[in-house]
Structure 1
Amino acid sequence: MDYRIPVGDWIEAAVEFLLNTIQPFFDGVTLVVGWLVDQLESGMLGIPEWLFIAIIALLGLWRVGWRFTLFAVISMGLVIGMGLWAETVVTVALVIAASVVALAIGIPMGILAAKSDIALAIIRPVLDLMQTMPPFVYLIPAAMFFGLGKVPGTIATIIFAMPPAVRLTNLGIRQVGREMVEAGLAFGCTRGQLLAKVQIPVAMPSIMAGVNQVIMLALSMVVIASMIGAGGLGNVVLRGIQRLDIGLGFEGGLGVVIAAIILDRLTQTFGHHRKQAGVLERLKGAAQWFTRGSGETKDKPAQHK
């Protein structure tokens, strides 16, 4: 049977049309995204290694606990020992840049979808397409529209990582109880105040779960984007594949795993409404754990018959 629907030809024609008509728009996007990536990368690479580790350690003590802090310090020391510190920092900078843009677009889209069923009906099929499309496919239009390098890799990462922010923002706002909305309106809130002071704060755990998922997907896509010149740890993994160098590929993959665990654990905590202990309290708890069993006993209360 010779019947064939030329979908690929239609897509090619659409790409050519876009390239010929709105090329200045793509040039502007390239400038903005390139500037953001370059600023983050140069700023993070300018931080001394010991100071970077100290910042992560303090964040870990504040948000997670001393066990995670110990793991993070040892892991980052391992990254330095493998000679992959610069590549890891570049990867983290790309992830942060892509995540910031994805969230800046995705969260407002999620709010719009939560407020309008018509908008949700339009956005949902697009999200389904974005989440089911193989990640390698994103590299083709990114390279065609923006060339090779960090900018197309970042843009492909933005598109790949955006859907969880839209879905979970929409879900969180829609799950806010009707009685809470009615109470806000009864107290005289406008629609904007209701969104800012009631719905978004209540939906914050769901929104932060979306932020966490965006960061994780961005980290996985940044490695794939090394195929079009994104750089970072993805280049190390790619060189390992090209040379069939198991050790090099494993080192690059281990760096990705360490970055993923640290980012995941830190971002998870920001969605929980819990009182955070200070750094001194964390250190005191760690000291008590190490001195446990040293013979110190607590006074027992007197027993009365």
Structure 2
Amino acid sequence: MFEFPEFIYLPLDRWTSALVDWLTVNGEAFFDVVGDVLLSPMLGLEQFLLWIPWWVIILAAAGLAWKQKGWRMALGVTAGLFFIGTLGLWDMAMKTLAIVIAAALLALMIGVPIGIGMARSEKMRGIVRPILDMMQTMPSFVYLIPALMLFGLGKVPALLSTLIYAIPPVIRLTDLGIRQVPADVIEASRAFGATGRQMLLKVQLPLAAPTIMTGVNQTIMMALAMVVIASMIGAGGLGTEVLNGIARLDVGRGFNGGISIVVMAIIIDRLTQSAAQPRTS
């Protein structure tokens, strides 16, 4: 009487497994093409970051920080990147950065248009919001299973699982930023004869830029948080160092990888947060 009836059962697990099995068998050629398309530029980006001398990357990051926030931030960025190098994890950090950059770029390419569509259509917003809720509350390990079955071990499933996990903030905050543009500004632009495209590109997106950049910032932070989990299916980078530390009960090795991820997260957070803000000296 107090237990849920056993005969009332929804076999969602079997349906989901059957769908993934069907996609694996019938979509093999398609997923191979998608994997090749995503893998080549990501490997190119990784090799490019590994090819650049470490001191050039540090100088470039410090110069960007100086331009955005002044010498104190530049000093902090320099110290943080140099610290990662002193731990012997520079190459792993660059591999992690390549995945984060690739996931962030894909999130921007996909998320910003969806956010714009949500801001312009209540119907689309009503459809997309529950999907985003599901994506943000689903345990991150769940994303690894279908990605692994469809693409196998490697960087491609790691990239896609990271993308799915990290994309909701940029979609939500693009929608929010455009909706927060003052109505009188919209009316003024219409009064001056602006078309819908001109209004979007020259009025709404520039005014929503700080909010959108906050979404980009949060997407990058979530991508970094997914790095350790994605290392279980071949992401590589700093996450692998943490995973190896756990597997071998090597606290020092795991801590080195973890603190390096934290330092990278802080640096990227400060740079992206200040990107849409005026420079301070």
RMSD over aligned CA atoms reads: 1.2
Say whether residues 1:2 and 2:6 are aligned partners.
yes
Q: CA shift at 1:80, angstroms?
A: 1.4
Query: For the Cα contact (< 8 Å) 2:31–2:150, is it kept in 1?
Result: yes
Name the residue aligned to 2:241.
Answer: 236
Write the deviation string for residues 84-104 of structure 1: whole angstroms up to 9, x where unpaired: 000011001110001100111
**Counterpart amino acid of residue 199 in structure 2:** L
Q: CA shift at 1:28, angstroms?
A: 2.1
Q: CA shift at 1:72, angstroms?
A: 1.8
Q: CA shift at 1:33, angstroms?
A: 1.3
Say whether residues 1:179 and 2:184 are aligned partners.
yes
- State how far apart, in whole Å, the 1-side matches of 2:206 and 2:30 are: 35
> In structure 1, which of residues 69, 90, 93 is the aligned counterpart of residue 98 of structure 2?
93
TM-score of the superposition, structure 1-length normalised? 0.88
> In structure 2, which of residues 275, 278, 281 is the aligned counterpart of residue 270 of structure 1?
275
> In structure 2, which of residues 202, 206, 211 is the aligned counterpart of residue 201 of structure 1?
206
Structure 2: any 5+ residue segments left out of the alignment?
A: none
Query: For the Cα contact (< 8 Å) 2:224–2:265, is it kept in 1?
Result: yes
Query: For the Cα contact (< 8 Å) 1:176–1:202, is it kept in 2?
Result: yes
Query: For the Cα contact (< 8 Å) 2:136–2:165, is it kept in 1?
Result: yes
Query: For the Cα contact (< 8 Å) 1:154–1:222, is it kept in 2?
Result: no
Q: Which moved more, 1:163-172 or 1:1-10?
A: 1-10
Structure 1: any 5+ residue segments left out of the alignment?
A: 283-305
> In structure 2, which of residues 28, 35, 52 is the aligned counterpart of residue 30 of structure 1?
35
Write the deviation string for residues 163-214 of structure 1: whole angstroms up to 9, x where unpaired: 0011000001111111111111111111111111111111111111111111
**Residues 276-287 of structure 1 mapped to structure 2, 5 A cutoff:** 276=279
Q: CA shift at 1:75, angstroms?
A: 2.0
Q: CA shift at 1:19, angstroms?
A: 2.2
**Residues 54-203 of structure 1 mapped to structure 2, 5 A cutoff:** 54-203=59-208
Name the residue aligned to 1:49.
Answer: 54
TM-score of the superposition, structure 2-length normalised? 0.95
- SS of the counterpart of 1:5? coil
Say whether residues 1:214 and 2:222 are aligned partners.
no
Identity, % of aligned positions: 50
- State how far apart, in whole Å, the 2-side matches of 1:52 and 1:178 are: 43
Q: CA shift at 1:21, angstroms?
A: 3.0
Q: CA shift at 1:22, angstroms?
A: 2.8
- SS of the counterpart of 1:83? coil
Structure index of larger Rg? 1
- SS of the counterpart of 1:97? helix
Q: CA shift at 1:23, angstroms?
A: 2.7
Query: For the Cα contact (< 8 Å) 2:80–2:267, is it kept in 1?
Result: no
- Runs of 4+ aligned residues of structure 1 deviating over 4 Å after TM superposition are none
Q: CA shift at 1:64, angstroms?
A: 1.9
